[in-house]
A and B are shown apart, each in its own frame.
Chain A
C-alpha cells in the first residue's frame, strides 16, 4: 500500500504541473490524451511526442487527429466541403473549440481522478482499518475458541470427575451397606458363639458345682462363738405360706406408699398451679373491667360476655372453698372462664395493635394503600384466631367426652351428667355464636381491607378457600370426633396449654386419682381406666396408659391382679420352696446339702406334686 502511494504521488504532481500550465502545446495535450486512452505508457513521452508531428506529416497528423476526434464524438476539424474533390480546409475555430473542450474535459477528468484518488485512499485506509479489525477479531475469535475448547475440556473433566465421585459415593454406600451387613452377621455369629460357649460354660459349671458341692466338704463351715441377736431384736420366723402372703402384702404396701407420696406431690403441684390460674384470672378481670366501662366501637360483642363472666366469677370466688373438694366441675368453669377472658384480652390487645398499626400507617402512607405486611399480619391473626377457636372447640369436645366417660351408674349421677351435657351444649352454642360474631367482625374488617387492597384479591381468595375447607373439615371433625378415641392425648392437651405430653401426665393422673377421696369415686375411676385401656390406639401411648392403668389397679384394690401377672409369681413362689433350703448346723449338714443340691429346673417338675 505504501509503495503504491509513493508511486502515484509523483504522477499526480506531474499531472498538476500539466494542469497548472494553461498554455500547453497541443502535442503535449494530445500526448496526454493518447497516454490516457490507448498508447501504452512509455518512458520518454516527449521524445515520442516530438516524433508524432513533424514538418512533413502535419497533414497526416491533422487528419489522424480529426479522425480520432470524430470517433470520440467531436466535430470535425475540417470545414464542411462544398465539393467532393476539393481539399478540405482546416477549421481553426473548430480546432480551438475542440481543444477547449478537450481541456475542460481534461480538467474534469483530473478533478474526478483526484476525487477517485482520495476516495481510493480513504477506502484503502478504511480497508486497512477493517483488515486490522478483522485480524484482531480473528485473533479474538481464535483465542475465544481456544478458551471455549479449554472450558469444554475442563467441563468434560469436571463431569468426568463428578461421575467418578458419584461412582465413588455409590461404592462407598455399597461398602457401608456391606459393612453393616457384615457387622450384623458378625453380631449374630458372635451371639451364637457366645451362646454356645455359655452353654458349655454352664455345663462345666454344673459339673463343677456337682463335684464341689456333692463332696462332703467338711471345710465349708462357719465357726461362730455364739449367735448374735437380730438387729431388730425379733426372732427369725418360720417360712410358711403366711410369710409369703405377708411379703406380698408388704411389697404392695411399699408400692402403694410410693404412689401415694407421688400423688400427694402432684396434688400439691396441682394446687399451686390452680392458685396461679386463680391469680391470673383475678388479674385479668381487674385488667379487663375498666375497659368495659368505656366501651369502644366494638363493645356490643365483647362486653356482654365480660359482664356475665365477671358475675359468674364473682359467684365462683365466693365459693372458693369448693376448689379442693370437687375439682372436676370447678376446673371446667375455671378453664373456660380463663379462656374466655384470655380471648377477650387478646382481641383487645389485637385491636390496640391494629389501631397502632393504622396510626402508624396513616403517618407514613396514603390511607387506602395498605402494605402487604399489614395484610399478612391480619391474615396471620385471623389464622391464629381460627386456631384458637379450633383448640377451644376441641377442648370442649374433650371435656364433654370426659364427662361422658365419667358417667356413673347412679341415677343421680346420670341426671347430673345430663345436666352437664346440656350445660356443655349451651356453652358450646354460646361459644359458637361468639365465634360467629367474631367471624362477622373479621369479615367486616376484611371487607375494608379488600377495598383498600385490591391487588391482594387473589391472596384473599386463596385464603377464603382455605378457610372454607377448614370449616368443612371442622364440621367433619365435629361429626367424627367421637370416633377418634385417642383419649389420653386429648386428656393431656385439655388441661395444659402446651402440647408437651410428658408433664401433663401428672395432672391427668392426679385428676383421675382425686375422686378416691369421694366415696363413690373409686368405681368411677376404675371403670374409666378399663375403658381407656382398650381405647388407646397408639403404641407409644400404650405403655403409658398401661402403666397408668396398672398403677391404678394396684393402688385401688390390691387383690385385683390380672391373671398374667399372678401366674409367674406363683411359679416363682413355688420355686423358692425348693430353692431355699434351711438347715440347722452343724449337726444336719447333710440335710442342708441334699436340700441345696436340688436344682432349680427340678423344682418345676416337683411343683406338680405339691398341693
Chain B
C-alpha cells in the first residue's frame, strides 16, 4: 500500500495497481506522514498547527486527533508497537507519549535536540533517548511496553550528536558531535563496552551505520575515511579511504556517459521529438580504464559544514556490501566488499548523488541524482533507467518496497513506482501524480 498526500488530503493507493483505496481529509497541510509498523494506521503531522491526526485503514470512520496546544510540535513518530505516538514539543521541552489504546499519556523531559536522539531497537522492545540536563549528556533506556525507565546513565561526550541501536538490540552506539571524534558503545544494561577515537583536533564523525548482522559498525568521518569496528573487541578492523584516483585493476569503475544520438538523426529541420524535453537524453555506463581520477570538489574551508567527509553509509541487507559517498567527490558512490574488506566498484555519475538505498531482499543499490534517471547497481553490473513520461521528473529521493520488487521515486511534486521484473528488466509504472510532501 502506498500513501500520498495532496495538501490536506491523504490518499492511500495499492502498491501494485495504484488504485485509490482510501481518502482522508486532514485539517491542514500535512507536513509529515508515517505508517504504523503493523500498517493499520497512518499518522499525519501538521506541525504548523501543533496537530497530529491518525487514520485507521481498517475502520475508515475511526479517527484520532492529538493537539499539543501551545507547546507546539516539531516531530512526531510511531512507537514500534503501532499504538503509541511520540510527539516532540517545540524547543525540545519534552516528549509526549500518547497511547491509542488506553487513556494514558506519559511525558519525557529534557530530550536532546540533536541529529538522531531517539532510537528504537529493531524488536520494538526498547527505546533509547538522548537527554541533556545540567550541560551533560545522558541516555535513558525505556521499555516500550509500559514506558518504564530501565536504565539512565550519563555518557562521556562533549555534545552528543546521535545514538543508534545495533540491530540485535544489545549494543547502543553513541557518537559525539563533529567537533570531536568519539564513539561510545554501551550495553543494554548501561555498561560502557568500549570507546573509540581515531584522531583528535580535526572534525570528526559524519555518519554511522550498523551492519544488519550487528557485526560491524561503520563510521564515516570528515577525513574522508570509513572505519569499521568489529563486535568482539570493538576495535578497528579496517579503514577505507576514498582516494580521488582509483588505480587498481581489480576495481571496476562505472562511468555514466551521455548516449549521444546517432548523427544521421540530426535532420534539418529538427524532428519534433528533438524539440521535446532535452533532459530525456539517454545515458549508459561505461567501464573506465585504470587509472581513473574522479571529479573532486574543492571544499570551502571558511564555511561551516564543509562538503568533505563520508556523509552517507549503507550496508546491504545481506551484510556483503557497503555503499558510501564521500561528499568531496559528490558524483561517486563507492561500493565495498565486506567479505574481502576492499573496494569493489565505484560508480561515477554525471550529477551529484542525492540518495541511495539498498534493496531489502537482494543486494541491489538504487541511486538517484536529482535527474530524470534512476540507477541500479548489483554485483552483476549496473544500469541506468530513464523515468518515462513527458516533463521533467527529477528524482530527489527513493524508497524500496519491502518486497524489493518495486521502488517508489519521489520528485518535488510527483511520485512514480518502478517495478523490477527479473526477466524483462525494469518496467516503470508512472503513478498518477499527486503532490507529495
Contact = CB atoms under 8 A, between A and B. Distances in A.
A486 interface: no
B62 A226 contact: yes
Contacts of B108: 579
B42 to A, nearest CB: 14
B245 interface: no
A506 B159 CA distance: 34
B64 to A, nearest CB: 4
Contact of A572 (B56, B69, B82, B151): B151
A62 interface: no
Given A198-B135, A224-B64, A585 B105 contact: yes
Interface stretch (B189-197, B286-294, B325-333, B365-373): B189-197
A222 B64 contact: yes
Contact of A596 (B62, B64, B98, B107): B107
Nearest to A546: B191
Nearest to A213: B71
A544 interface: yes
B67 A220 contact: yes
B107 A251 contact: no
A505 B194 CA distance: 15
B158 A191 contact: yes
Contacts of A501: 233
B83 interface: yes
A198 B170 CA distance: 32
A205 B91 contact: yes
A228 B100 contact: yes
A22 interface: no
A209 interface: yes
Nearest to A224: B64
Contact of A600 (B68, B109, B153, B232): B109
Given A222-B64, A572-B152, A575-B152, A258 B168 contact: yes
Contact of B148 (A194, A547, A576): A576
Interface string A244-256: 1001101110110
Given A224-B64, A572-B152, A580 B147 contact: yes
Interface string B137-166: 000000100111111110000110000000
Contact of B153 (A224, A231, A547, A568): A568
A212 interface: yes
B69 A217 contact: yes
Given A209-B94, A219-B69, A236 B104 contact: yes
Contacts of B126: 251
Given A547-B193, A579-B149, A502 B66 contact: no
B135 A582 contact: no
A223 interface: yes
Interface string B92-111: 01100011111111111110
B187 interface: yes
B70 A502 contact: no
A101 B340 CA distance: 121
Given A228-B100, A230-B81, A255 B187 contact: yes
Contacts, number: 168
Contacts of A205: 91, 93
A481 to B, nearest CB: 26
B83 A225 contact: no
A19 interface: no
Contact of A506 (B38, B69, B105, B232): B232
A212 B71 contact: yes
Interface string B36-57: 0010000000000000000010
Contacts of B81: 230-232
Nearest to B96: A220
B102 A544 contact: no
Interface residues of A, number: 72
A290 interface: no
A217 B38 CA distance: 33
B100 A224 contact: yes
Interface string A400-422: 00000000000000000000000
Interface on chain A toward B: helix, strand, loop, or mixed SS? helix
Contacts of B102: 227, 236
Interface string B102-130: 11111111100000000000000110000
B148 A212 contact: no
A191 to B, nearest CB: 7
A458 B5 CA distance: 90
A581 interface: yes
Nearest to B38: A231
Contacts of B65: 222-224
B196 to A, nearest CB: 11
Contacts of B99: 236
Interface in A496-531: 501-503, 505-506
B230 interface: yes
Contacts of A202: 133-134
A568 B71 contact: no
A236 B146 contact: yes
A110 interface: no
Contacts of B105: 222, 583, 585, 592
Contacts of B191: 547, 550, 565
Contacts of A544: 233
A189 B151 CA distance: 33
Nearest to B214: A258
A191 B193 CA distance: 27
B104 A208 contact: no
A430 to B, nearest CB: 36
Contacts of B233: 501-502, 505, 544
A314 B286 CA distance: 61
B150 A247 contact: yes
A221 interface: yes
A244 B148 CA distance: 8
Contacts of B110: 600
A224 B64 CA distance: 4
Contacts of A226: 62
Given A230-B81, A243-B148, A255-B170, A236 B71 contact: no
Interface in A231-268: 231-232, 236-237, 239, 243-244, 247-248, 250-252, 254-255, 258
A569 B151 contact: yes
A46 interface: no
A229 interface: yes
B45 to A, nearest CB: 14
A244 B149 CA distance: 9
B101 A582 contact: no
Contacts of A44: none
Contacts of B188: 251, 254-255
Given A199-B135, A236-B104, A222 B232 contact: no
Contacts of A220: 67-71
Contact of A227 (B101, B109, B159, B193): B101
Contact of A231 (B64, B67, B83, B148): B83
Contacts of A218: 69
Given A220-B68, A224-B100, A236-B102, A243 B146 contact: yes
A217 B67 CA distance: 11
Interface string A575-605: 1100111111110000010001001100000
Nearest to B81: A231
28 contacts: A194-B159, A195-B135, A198-B132, A202-B133, A202-B134, A209-B94, A217-B69, A222-B65, A222-B105, A223-B67, A227-B101, A231-B38, A232-B81, A236-B102, A236-B104, A239-B146, A243-B146, A247-B150, A250-B143, A251-B188, A251-B189, A502-B235, A547-B193, A554-B189, A579-B108, A581-B107, A584-B103, A585-B104
Given A191-B158, A230-B81, A243-B148, 13 more contacts: A183-B201, A199-B135, A212-B70, A223-B64, A254-B169, A505-B233, A572-B152, A575-B152, A579-B107, A580-B106, A583-B104, A600-B110, A600-B133
Q: Which 5 pairs show the lowest CB-CB distances between chains A and B?
A: A219-B69, A576-B149, A220-B69, A572-B152, A585-B103
